Structure 1
Amino acid sequence: MSCLVRILVTGAAGFIGSTVTDRLLADGHSVVGVDDLSTGRLANLTAAAADPRFSFEQLDVTSPELLALADRVRPEVVAHLAAQIDVRVSVADPLRDARQNVLGTINVLEASRLAGTSKVIHTSSGGSIYGSPARLPVDETAPVAPESPYAAGKAAGELYLNVYRATHGLASTALALANVYGPRQDPHGEAGVVAIFGTAMLAGRPAKIFGDGTASRDYVFVGDVAEAFARVLPVDAAAGSRLNIGTGVETSVRELHSRIAAIIGAPDTPLRAPARPGELARIALAVGLAERLVGWRPEVDLDAGLARTVAWLRRQTVAAA
């Protein structure tokens, strides 16, 4: 594989997918973005669309049309980010979740195989696939123990990576992401607590905490995630491995609220609501393997990342006014 490659990015119009797309283009690669625009936004691809090395196709990754597209494009690498991302949706409608996250991943792998793709980079979920581990931060040797349909679907995707590697020789790396936040995160859905809290506070509304506020997450900045994708592009980079992509630091939901309120200058007085099914009490990811194999480590600490995210949310508020 040459240093500069042709990459197909699924979920390219999403929050993470568009950030990864921008990073790959900045590195000089050619990118074909795919998104069904059910949750992704073309506005996220404004910068990419101005680059002659970028093109976009609107389609669902479960569609047979993906095979024809891959056959035409012949990507050297596929970065698979398209997904149903909400744990609560997966609990309410596990069939929908499986269609998107399991069948969609199989379709991506099959399209990659038939197109002669060298490597697939799969987006897994370090924030959910380990369930409730006995020790934190959890590393990649811990057993996979899903506690939601969403987590089960992400774990199944990794199993299919193994099948395609063993059966067809298709190289792959799974990036098990912690809770990703940053500019472009959607504040209007159920996922993305940083954007939800920030948007509510900027509008002068109280934000809502589900449960007693002690639930903890490992929050990783989206720019650091894009760096991880860039580092695993080569076929032999962490081939056959799952890499945790997080910070190793737990932050409770209550503390997160306080930090965002301090940045905005808003009251630190959240509303309370009952805890929701399928959500874990605690998680944080050990990331030593990513550093050892590809030299990746998180660079943006939480306060700096929150400040950058709030600044972006402010700009969206002004633009919408």
Structure 2
Amino acid sequence: MKVLVTGGAGFIGRCTVNQLIGQGDRVVVVDCTERNRSQSLEVEKLVTYYKVDITCDIEKLESIFAEERPDYVIHLAAQVSVRYSLVDPVEDADCNVMGTINVLKQCVRYGVKKFVFSSSAATYGNPKQIPIEENHETEPLSFYGLSKRVSEMYIQSYSHHFGLDYTILRYANVYGIRDTRTGEDGVVTAFVERILGGIPLEVYGDGQQTRDFIYVKDIAEANIAALRGGSQQIMNISSGKAVSLLEVIETLKQLCDASVTIQFLPHQKGDIEHSVLDNSKARSLLWWNPTYSLSDGLREIVNFENEIRRNPASVSHLVYNKIPAM
């Protein structure tokens, strides 16, 4: 089957594309960033890449759908920073809401079988009970959470009016190996870099706030599982475990065998104090289970960062060695 992945050059996108290729699917990537062509020509042939901004290059986007005729779409392209959404809510809405509508329009026009959407736990706001189930009220604290919730509603409306099948996945806090730091999902890697570099860690609040950390490879597995299951459903994708930032730091101290200095900063607007998602629906409907413990995921990141320090030239081949480092 042919799968078009928007945002396929990004953090979650590259891992998703890697796994799609591993199972023999044809992959089309639409992303607004430049593609890094440092990989082999053999690997280059596995992905068709288009440098297109889904918010403004609407004619180009339509021509891609007309040319490629994808069977499925995994929509990952987004503005991902809670803090930035509070600074520029217009750009946040343009990217997350209008970008989603632009892709939905082409999915309907060119007969896409299913649309898989990357949503967020930020749609819930402060939980009234933990763990958070999918029927929990949605009261976003940030424009980012609001834009994701509005996008969900557009997807459901497109399904109602035009018969487009969909699955909406509300991600918990995604972490993993990455080469850029954009959005709150880069905080774990930033911690690792600072610990290995002997630099004090910056923690907003008292560090007791909890998050549900889910490894990026488990997220990619869920994205792909949603292509075949969970039709017209909203599902949490999470570890199902609450972990405080101080617990994360303590685990990293042990893995890095290093001492740590913490600088506590004021609590940030739009940040949720405690969050853990109930993932039983995804386990049941997608036959999906998270396989990485927090310790397993953090160990991979630490090993990766250590390898970068020993051999910087090896970075593009360590994890995404089956796809271009786009």
TM-score (norm. length: structure 1):
0.92
CA shift, 1:84, in A, is 0.5
Over the matched positions of the two proteins, sequence identity in percent amounts to 34
- Check whether the contact 1:185–1:192 (CA below 8 A) recurs between aligned residues: no
The verdict on how the C-alpha distance between 1:270 and 1:49 changes in structure 2, with shifts beyond 3 A counting, is: farther
- For 2:292 and 2:242, the matched residues in 1 are separated by 15
Render the CA deviation track for 1:53-72: whole Å, top value 9, x for unaligned: 31111111112121221111
Q: 1:204 aligns with which of 192, 198, 215?
A: 198
Unaligned runs of 5+ in 1: none
Partner of 1:314: 306
- For the aligned residue pairs, the C-alpha RMSD in angstroms reads 1.9
Cα distance, 1:144 vs structure 2: 1.2
Which residue pairs with 1:303 in the alignment?
295
Cα shift at 1:44 = 9.9
**Separation (CA, whole Å) in 2 of partners of 1:240 and 1:74:** 22
Residue in 1 that maps onto 2:233: 241
1:75 equivalent to 2:75? Answer no
Equivalent residue of 2:3, what SS?
strand
Q: Tell me the residue number matched to 2:269.
A: 277
Paired residue secondary structure (1:19):
helix
Q: Which amino acid aligns with 1:148?
A: S
Residue 181 (structure 1) aligned to one of 172, 175, 181:
175
CA contact (8 A) 1:35 1:57 kept: yes
Partner of residue 120, structure 2: 125
Quickly say closer, same or farther: Cα 1:189–1:120, change in 2 above 3 A.
closer
2: CA distance between counterparts of 1:47 and 1:232? 30
Q: 1:47 to 1:12 in 2, by over 3 A?
A: farther
Q: Which amino acid aligns with 1:68?
A: S
Mark the CA change 1:49 to 1:121 in structure 2 (over 3 Å): closer, same or farther: farther
238-247 vs 267-276, which deviates more?
Answer: 267-276
The DSSP-based 3-state class of the residue aligned with 1:192 is helix
Q: Does residue 58 of structure 1 match 2:51? A: yes
One of 278, 295, 303 as aligned partner of 1:286: 278
Q: Number of paired residues?
A: 311
SS at 1:166's partner residue?
helix
Q: What are the superposed Cα offsets for residues 28-65 of structure 1, whole Å, 9 maximum, x if unpaired?
A: 1000011111xxx7459948970533111111111212
Q: Deviations over 1:10-44 (max 9, x none)?
A: 1111110000000001011000011111xxx7459
Q: Which amino acid aligns with 2:99?
A: G
Contact 1:76–1:119 (CA<8 Å) still a contact in 2? yes
Residue 218 of structure 1 and its aligned partner are, at CA, apart by 0.3
Give the equivalent residue in structure 1 for 2:250.
258
What is the DSSP-based 3-state SS (H/G/I as helix, E as strand, rest coil) of the residue aligned with 2:123? coil
Q: Please give the residue correspondences for 1:79-98 in structure 2 after superposition, counting only pairs within 5 Å.
A: 79-98=74-93
Aligned mate of 2:3, from 4, 7, 13: 7
CA distance 1:157–1:189, change in 2 (3 Å): closer
User: Is 1:194 the counterpart of 2:188 in the alignment?
Assistant: yes
Matched residues in 2 for 1:199 and 1:78: separation? 34
Unaligned runs of 5+ in 2: 314-326
Give the counterpart letter for 1:54 in structure 2.
Answer: V
Counterpart of 1:111, as a letter, is Q
The answer for the alignment partner of 2:148 in structure 1 is: 154
2:136 is aligned with 1:138: no
Q: Retained in 2: the 8 A contact 1:22–1:47? A: no
Deviations 1:121-172 (A, max 9, x none): 000002x111111111101111111110000001011101101100110100
The separation in 1 between residues aligned to 2:193 and 2:140, in whole angstroms, is 31
Which residue type is aligned with residue 137 of structure 1?
P
Shift of 1:185: 5.6
Mapped partners of 2:184, 2:261: distance in 1 = 20
**Offset of 1:181 from its aligned partner?**
0.8
